[in-house]
């Protein structure tokens, strides 16, 4: 049974791990190269900002990918824990460095929780950050059974779902679903840097959704992208081919050449729809997904609570919710995702226009 843990690195992920473990009765010890970060995490209830009195059950290395091998060597040399894992988002290079450095690979099992946010630091941490999230596990060639049991227990305790991958497969996967999308979001957001105020003022939820993660720490993301550069470049190369095709089609349409251009553009958009449809949904998602019921609400205290109370009174479960704020206005649009069978009933109950949109 997991009773003690050490978290090395008190940023968003490390502090969230510590909060989650502490909330489940695990005694957690915190450290960070910036002592104030560990003290802040401790003040939030994440654990003790001090060295443990003896080896803990597991040590979680919440440091950048480039620092994993050196950090693992350092904590193993002083016997910090019986088992070691990490939360780095890139694995192949770190694993190669770990093996080259002579670390004890039997007591190490690589990890990567697919969770985070655009904010960083201990103040952005949450104990429920990993609930229902995938947590990739990337073993070495000789990860011991005891290490497997300990790290899997940690993943279960924080509410995540383990997924076992090899290092190369992991890095290809995160390049596709995380690293390349972040870079694309940043490049799209960069179009706004010198845009006219009137243009930026037209921004709606679409551009906010596309660029949300671009608010992440550029220095941290530079390290992540550098550690997985080849896999990210492969994804962007394929994307560049599609972008070239889209540009060519749009240029042709602008010149009133509607021959094959319209067909090509439609095919690209259809591929996007098909790809989006493959994204995982919660268990029990109905065939065809959900529909959206949009409700205009005022920007005053209690408005969202009133809306959710009304939805509950209608006997409808909200599957997901999005809020589109109206800049400079005292209203906002709340999009409620519900099952198709509940959409009509909810629309009538809330007395909103009967326009729903499939999602």
- Percent of the chain with pLDDT strictly greater than 70: 93
Q: Is 67 helix (H, G, I), strand (E, B) or coil?
A: helix
> Residue 355: what pLDDT?
43
Cβ(182)–Cβ(103) under 8 Å?
no
Q: Which has more pLDDT, 328 or 335?
A: 335
> Residue 356: what pLDDT?
43
- CATH code where residue 346 lies: 3.30.70.260
pTM over 0.85: no
Q: Are residues 57 and 154 in the same domain?
A: yes
288 pLDDT more than 80: no
- The DSSP result for 126-141, as a single string, is -TTTTTT-EEEEEE-T
pLDDT band at 329 (very low <50, low <70, confident <90, very high): low
197 pLDDT more than 50: yes
Q: Which has more pLDDT, 2 or 317?
A: 2
Separation between Cα atoms, residue 42 and residue 31, nearest integer Å: 10
> Residue 327: what pLDDT?
61
pLDDT band at 29 (very low <50, low <70, confident <90, very high): very high
**Mean pLDDT of the region 149-172:** 96
pLDDT per residue as tens digits for the range 73-90: 999 999 999 999 999 999
Q: Are residues 69 and 138 in the same domain?
A: yes
Q: What is the mean pLDDT of the chain?
A: 89
322 pLDDT more than 70: yes
Q: Are residues 93 and 187 in the same domain?
A: no
247 pLDDT more than 90: yes
Cβ(99)–Cβ(123) under 8 Å?
no
Instruction: At 344, list the tokens.
Output: 């009509």
> Residue 63: what pLDDT?
94
Separation between Cα atoms, residue 109 and residue 327, nearest integer Å: 47
- CATH code where residue 55 lies: 3.40.50.720
Separation between Cα atoms, residue 339 and residue 151, nearest integer Å: 37
Range of the domain at 333: 291-358
Q: Which has more pLDDT, 4 or 218?
A: 4
Longest pairwise C-alpha distance within the chain: 75
Closest among 245, 44, 247 to 127, alpha carbons compared: 44
350 pLDDT more than 90: no
> Residue 354: what pLDDT?
42
- The verdict on residue 284 lying in a domain is no
pLDDT band at 357 (very low <50, low <70, confident <90, very high): very low
pLDDT band at 286 (very low <50, low <70, confident <90, very high): low
Q: Is 207 helix (H, G, I), strand (E, B) or coil?
A: helix
| Phi, psi at 248, each rounded to 5° | -60, -40
- Boundary (domain end) residue, out of 165, 186, 202: 165
Cβ atoms < 10 Å from Cβ of 273: 8
- CATH code where residue 201 lies: 1.10.3660.10
């Amino acid at each position: 049974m997991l009773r003690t843990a050490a978290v090395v690195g008190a940023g968003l992920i490390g502090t969230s791990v510590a909060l989650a473990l502490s909330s489940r009765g695990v005694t957690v010890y915190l450290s960070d190269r910036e002592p104030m970060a560990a003290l802040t995490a401790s003040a939030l209830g994440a654990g003790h900002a001090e060295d443990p009195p003896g080896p803990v059950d597991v040590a979680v290395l919440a440091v950048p990918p480039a620092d994993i091998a050196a950090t693992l060597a350092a904590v193993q040399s002083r016997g910090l824990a019986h088992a070691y894992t990490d939360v780095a988002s890139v694995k192949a290079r770190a694993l190669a460095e770990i093996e080259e450095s002579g670390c004890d690979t039997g007591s190490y099992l690589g990890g990567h929780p697919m969770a985070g946010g655009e904010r960083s630091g201990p103040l952005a941490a949450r104990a429920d950050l990993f609930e229902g999230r995938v947590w990739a596990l990337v073993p070495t060639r000789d990860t011991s059974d005891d290490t497997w049991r300990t790290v899997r227990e940690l993943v279960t305790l924080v509410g995540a779902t383990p997924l076992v991958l090899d290092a190369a497969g992991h890095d290809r996967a995160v390049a596709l679903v995380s690293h390349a999308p972040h870079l694309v979001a940043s490049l799209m957001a960069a179009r706004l840097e010198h845009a006219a105020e009137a243009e930026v003022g037209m921004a709606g939820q679409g551009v906010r959704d596309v660029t949300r993660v671009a608010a992440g720490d550029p220095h941290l993301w530079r390290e992540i992208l550098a550690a997985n550069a080849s896999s990210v470049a492969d994804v962007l190369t394929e994307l560049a081919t599609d972008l070239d095709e889209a540009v060519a089609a749009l240029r042709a349409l602008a010149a009133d050449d509607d021959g094959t251009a319209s067909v090509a553009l439609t095919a690209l958009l259809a591929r996007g729809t098909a790809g989006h449809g493959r994204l995982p949904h919660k268990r029990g998602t109905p065939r065809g997904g959900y529909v959206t019921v949009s409700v205009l609400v005022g920007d005053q205290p209690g408005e969202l609570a009133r809306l959710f109370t009304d939805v509950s009174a209608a006997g409808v479960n909200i599957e997901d919710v999005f809020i589109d704020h109206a800049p400079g206005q005292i209203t906002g649009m709340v999009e409620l995702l519900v099952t198709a069978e509940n959409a009509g009933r909810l629309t009538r109950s809330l007395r909103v226009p009967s326009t729903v949109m499939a999602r």
